[in-house]
Amino acid sequence: MNDLTGKTVLVTGGARGIGAETARRAVEAGANVVVTDVLEDEGKALAAGLGERARFMRHDVTSEEDWAAVAAFATAEFGGIDGLVNNAGISTGQPLETETVEHFRRVLDINLTGVFIGMKTAINAMKDNGGGSIVNISSAAGLMGLALTSSYGASKWGVRGLTKLAAVEQGTAKIRVNSVHPGMIYTPMTAQLGIQQGDGGYPNTPMGRVGEADEIAKAAVFLLSDDSSYVTGAELAVDGGWTTGPTVKYVMGQ
Ligand code: NAP
């Protein structure tokens, strides 16, 4: 199951958190992995620890030049790109009425335009290789109206929409495109927001716990692998049931 032997996978924002666990899982599944991030020290250390089938390259996902350089690097090192995990992102939380235009544009630049340039770059590379799989990391905030996420939520809804139309455009080119929607996952991003790991860490979810980065990584590896060969344009919520609706902790009348 979930074999990636012989495939080359690019993971953006892969120096830590969900991206790092995805890179780790992909190497374990047999892939060659190019980890990219703006965090150079963490990225280099991660790739060194993952062994000879892993590389690191500094990469700002908002830069077209950086994307071209990463694609050339992946081709020179491993012969092309078969899988892309568009994972890099930043999280924010302000009410819409106090969000600034400048900050809104910055969040969309990283979380949405970065994904757009990545898809464009990877699709061109994948066509040369006869197909591939793109996994866009959206969010539970891309499936519902999550308060205090005006810029972040807009970017993640945008990622979900881009995923759908790319899946339609690329279907016959054998390039599958899917989105993953993590719920509350324990990573450096959410630790900075005060989220606690494990049971009780996020009681809003039906499962009552915070998820682990590895639980998102396993979903991403499934979508990268040929085990999901007929899955495209799908949105996979990996959220402990958070987006199923309000969590009801009691039954009316009991
Ligand atoms: P994380 O720990 O902050 O990791 C994200 C990485 O992306 C960081 O190393 C970050 O570097 C990097 N990055 C930021 N801007 C970049 C840019 N312009 N170019 C390249 N890399 C950049 O976050 P995470 O929790 O693992 O989240 C990964 C993805 O999952 C994000 O897209 C996030 O929105 C999504 N997600 C996470 C959760 C959650 O609960 N953790 C839930 C839903 C969705 P800096 O530290 O310098 O910013």
Looking at residue 248, what is its pLDDT?
Answer: 65
Answer yes or no: 250 catalytic: no
Whether the per-residue pLDDT at 201 is higher than 80: the answer is: no
Ligand 1 centroid to Cα of residue 203, in Å, is 23
CA separation for the pair 53, 28 (Å, rounded): 10
Nearest CA to ligand 1 atom 39: 185
Mean pLDDT along residues 74-88: 98
- Range 32-65 burial, b when 16+ CB lie within 10 A, else e: bbbbbbbbeebbbebbeebeebbbbbebebbeee
Pocket around ligand 1: residues whose beta carbon is below 6 Å from it?
Answer: 12-13, 15-19, 37-39, 59-62, 87-91, 110, 114, 137, 139, 182, 184-185, 187-190
Looking at residue 1, what is its pLDDT?
Answer: 87
Q: Is the pTM of this model over 0.75?
A: yes
Band (pLDDT 50/70/90 cuts) for residue 193 is: confident
Q: 20 or 247, which is more confident?
A: 20
CB-count burial class (<10 Å; 0-12, 13-18, 19+) for 155:
buried
Q: Which amino acid is at 187?
A: T
Contact 98, 139 (CB under 8 A): no
Contact 64, 114 (CB under 8 A): no
Contact 127, 173 (CB under 8 A): yes
Catalytic residue among 152, 186, 202, 250: 152
Whether the per-residue pLDDT at 231 is higher than 70: the answer is: yes
Mean pLDDT along residues 112-139: 97
Q: What is the pLDDT of residues 3-32, one digit of tens each?
A: 999 999 999 999 999 999 999 999 999 999
